[in-house]
């Protein structure tokens, strides 16, 4: 039987500067496959280096394909091409062996075998240590360069500036004019969305040919580079956590007049003060985290607008009546351009109207309601036995936290104490009967007292452990109560479902949850039956997320109440709908304004007429 082979190729850190390193590695792999007489089924080419598997799409595709019958052999140049992380290496080998696949390292001309487990593990540890040291050196070099005020790092997309071959920075005047206009409009009281609309109406676009988004405008206005100040050492890559961390402000390096200024210090300050005032007015000053994926939600990257295809972003607002913080998910196109239907339905663009509206009319998703909806789906689809899961979790906690039963040891120590006391009594009797001398008595008495002291200390310790055991029992009871009355189990089920979810398409009256086809809602816990193997689930929610439709529906109920009882009063309506009297009067006024009802009579006497 002819064996099927695939090639995995990736550049190491030191090879990235070599132009054809990756191409050469692929060619070497093809030559190896031809020489062995295998059939080449696929090539996984990774264009980025990394110590872990995070963000490496081709490696993750290979890792998932290990569970399918797509190939028999994986061909690599060397072990560190796969990863330089010990944990990831052992996870890969486990899946390799479970899937009965083979790994061929062509630079060593040999297959990996279980006999190589020790040496490959050592290699993985050494590779990881090498990467750790390399990371330290790179971070240290960057830090020294930034501390000494080295050249400013600009990307090719830095609007308003261009870097010359000699590493000097110059202003692109046409783009600088646009930036100055952004700052002037902001200082004059216009918000980022209004500025975006103004620039779009004037036909001004970015380097990519698209209009400026409100988020891009906000980033530009916040950037001190535009006043000539370069802030360095803002981010730091932490090797151990494999995350890019934000450096505290006091440890950052600020270099003034580092690049030519596009705007003056006064204009920059005025624009940023205006942004701060707007945030304070909205009651959100200091509450919005910034950085790379700050506080990333499990829903991030999952919610997609079914009307325009844009992603949904998480936004924060305060409820008007009680000032509580509300988290909502809104379509990106709506955030940038507002609604299509009705200009009054675009509150974020009060000062400026877009000449050409290409917004989005999809619903906003209140996070609390959304999680409640997903919990219902999990309860129906997973068929979880909450009581059984809670019992299992509490039993597991008892095994982990509870001390070993110390009653038997306590009884033994008590017996030792009684025996020592008897020996001490006998020793006194022998002294009195002059069987032993005073010197012998004192020596033996001292030894018995030391033993008795040790036994008594152990008894005291066991008594403390017994008291601790009663405290632990109270903790177990509290945890069990919280699990039964809270939403921890339901929320955990939602988190698991979101792990397996590819995307959630959002429409005004329903959503469609699309699962990854490789592991469509598969669970390995034997106590929880697996979900039916479906690629998607459609969830109808009607007007759950449509405030306007809910109000329309509520007003229709009032019309029906008036039709049944033309003499009904606002107080009766308020009591029936469980709302305030002012709320009932407000709804009645809205119906009158719409021309739906009319009151025939005066002085509170008369009847309602449905028009």
For residue range 74-83, list pLDDT tens digits in order.
999 887 777 7
Task: Identify the residue with better confidence: 115 or 177.
Answer: 177
Structure confidence by residue, pLDDT tens digits, 387-428: 776 676 666 666 655 544 566 677 788 888 898 888 888 888
> What is the rounded average pLDDT of the residues 29-43?
92
For the ranges 27-41, 129-143, 308-322, 511-525, the maximum mean pLDDT occurs at 27-41
pTM score = 0.48
Chain centroid to Cα 493, Å, comes to 16
Instruction: Write down the mean pLDDT value for the chain.
Output: 78
DSSP string, 40-102: EEEEEEE-S--SSSTT-HHHHHHHHHTTSSS-SEEEES-GGGT-S-HHHHHHHHHHHHHTT-E
Poorest-pLDDT segment among 174-183, 261-270, 303-312, 421-430: 421-430
Instruction: Please tell me the predicted confidence (pLDDT) of residue 175.
Output: 92
pLDDT at 505 over 90: yes
Task: List the end-to-end C-alpha distance of the chain, in Å, as a whole number.
Answer: 83
- Confirm if 58 and 8 have CB atoms less than 8 A apart: yes
Q: What is the rounded CA–CA span in Å between residue 365 and residue 375?
A: 15
Q: pLDDT category, 524, cuts 50, 70, 90?
A: very low
> What is the rounded average pLDDT of the residues 193-216?
87
For the ranges 277-291, 477-491, 505-519, 578-592, the maximum mean pLDDT occurs at 578-592
Q: What is the rounded CA–CA span in Å between residue 526 and residue 538?
A: 26
Q: What is the rounded CA–CA span in Å between residue 364 and residue 313?
A: 10
Instruction: Please tell me the predicted confidence (pLDDT) of residue 397.
Output: 63
In the sheet that holds 73-76, the strands lie side by side as 39-46, 4-10, 73-76, 102-105, 110-111
Instruction: Please tell me the predicted confidence (pLDDT) of residue 531.
Output: 41
Instruction: Please tell me the predicted confidence (pLDDT) of residue 383.
Output: 61
Structure confidence by residue, pLDDT tens digits, 158-177: 899 998 888 888 999 999 99
Q: CB atoms < 10 A from the CB of 551, how many?
A: 13
- Considering only CA atoms, which of 256, 180, 169 is closest in space to residue 217? 180
> What is the rounded average pLDDT of the residues 284-299?
56
pLDDT at 241 over 80: no
Chain centroid to Cα 339, Å, comes to 29
Instruction: Please tell me the predicted confidence (pLDDT) of residue 320.
Output: 67
Structure confidence by residue, pLDDT tens digits, 575-600: 888 888 888 888 888 888 888 888 88
The first and second tokens of residue 339, run together, are 């609604």
Sequence-separated (6 or more) residues with CB below 8 Å from residue 445: 424, 427
Instruction: Please tell me the predicted confidence (pLDDT) of residue 4.
Output: 93
pLDDT at 73 over 90: yes
> What is the rounded average pLDDT of the residues 47-64?
71
Largest CA distance in the chain: 123
Q: What is the rounded CA–CA span in Å between residue 339 and residue 333?
A: 9
The share of the chain scoring above pLDDT 90, in percent, equals 16
> What is the rounded average pLDDT of the residues 335-348?
61
Instruction: Please tell me the predicted confidence (pLDDT) of residue 342.
Output: 53
Q: What is the rounded CA–CA span in Å between residue 327 and residue 330?
A: 10
Instruction: Please tell me the predicted confidence (pLDDT) of residue 48.
Output: 60
Q: pLDDT category, 375, cuts 50, 70, 90?
A: confident
Q: pLDDT category, 464, cuts 50, 70, 90?
A: confident
pLDDT at 221 over 80: yes
């Amino acid at each position: 039987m002819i064996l099927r082979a695939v090639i995995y190729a990736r550049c190491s850190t030191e090879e990235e500067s070599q132009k054809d390193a990756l191409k050469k590695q692929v060619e070497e792999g093809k030559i190896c496959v031809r020489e062995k007489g295998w059939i080449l089924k696929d090539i996984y080419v990774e264009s980025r280096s990394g110590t872990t598997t995070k963000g490496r799409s081709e490696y993750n595709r290979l890792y998932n394909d290990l569970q399918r019958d797509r190939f028999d052999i994986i061909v690599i140049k060397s072990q560190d091409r796969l990863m330089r992380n010990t944990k990831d290496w052992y996870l890969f080998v486990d899946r390799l062996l479970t899937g009965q696949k083979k790994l061929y390292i062509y630079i060593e001309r040999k297959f990996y075998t279980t006999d190589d487990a020790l040496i490959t593990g050592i290699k993985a540890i050494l590779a990881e240590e090498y990467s750790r040291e390399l990371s330290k050196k790179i971070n240290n070099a960057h830090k020294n360069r930034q501390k000494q005020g080295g050249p400013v790092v600009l990307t090719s997309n830095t609007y308003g500036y261009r870097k010359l071959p000699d590493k000097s920075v110059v202003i692109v005047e046409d783009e600088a004019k646009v930036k100055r206009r952004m700052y002037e409009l902001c200082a004059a009281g216009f918000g980022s969305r209004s500025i975006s609309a103004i620039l779009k109406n004037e036909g001004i676009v970015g380097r990519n040919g698209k209009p400026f988004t409100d988020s891009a405008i906000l980033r530009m206005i916040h950037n001190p580079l535009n006043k000539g100040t370069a802030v360095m050492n803002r981010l730091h890559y932490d090797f151990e956590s494999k995350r890019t961390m934000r450096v505290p402000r006091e440890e950052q390096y600020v270099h003034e007049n580092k690049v030519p200024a596009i705007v003056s210090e006064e204009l920059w300050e005025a624009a940023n003060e205006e942004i701060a005032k707007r945030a304070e007015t909205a009651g959100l000053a200091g509450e919005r985290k910034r950085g790379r994926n700050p506080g990333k939600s499990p829903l991030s990257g999952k919610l997609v607008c079914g009307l325009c295809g844009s992603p949904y972003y998480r936004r924060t607002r305060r409820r008007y009546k009680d000032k509580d913080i509300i988290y909502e998910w809104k379509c990106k196109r709506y955030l940038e351009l507002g609604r299509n239907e009705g200009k009054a339905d675009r509150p974020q663009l009060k000062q400026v109207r877009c000449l050409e509206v290409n917004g989005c009319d999809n619903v906003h998703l209140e996070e609390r309601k959304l999680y409640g909806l997903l919990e219902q789906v999990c309860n129906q689809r997973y068929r979880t036995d909450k009581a059984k899961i809670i019992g299992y979790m509490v039993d597991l906690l008892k095994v982990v936290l509870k001390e070993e039963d110390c009653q038997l040891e306590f009884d033994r120590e008590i017996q030792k104490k009684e025996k020592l006391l008897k020996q001490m009594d006998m020793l006194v009797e022998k002294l009195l009967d002059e069987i032993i001398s005073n010197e012998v008595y004192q020596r033996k008495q001292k030894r018995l007292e030391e033993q008795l002291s040790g036994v008594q200390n152990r008894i005291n310790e066991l008594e403390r452990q017994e008291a601790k055991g009663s405290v632990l029992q109270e903790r177990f009871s509290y945890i069990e109560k919280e699990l039964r009355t809270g939403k921890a189990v339901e929320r955990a089920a939602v988190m698991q479902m979101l792990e397996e979810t590819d995307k959630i398409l959002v429409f005004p009256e329903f959503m469609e949850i699309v699962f990854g086809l490789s592991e469509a809602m598969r669970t390995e816990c034997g106590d929880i039956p697996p979900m039916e193997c479906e690629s998607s689930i459609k969830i109808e929610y009607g007007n759950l997320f449509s405030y306007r439709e809910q109000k329309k529906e509520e007003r229709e109920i009032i019309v029906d109440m008036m039709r049944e009882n033309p003499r009904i009063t606002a107080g009766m309506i308020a009591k029936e709908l469980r709302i305030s009297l002012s709320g009932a009067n407000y709804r009645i006024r809205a119906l009158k304004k719409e021309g739906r009802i009319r009151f025939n009579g005066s002085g509170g006497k008369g009847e309602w007429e449905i028009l």
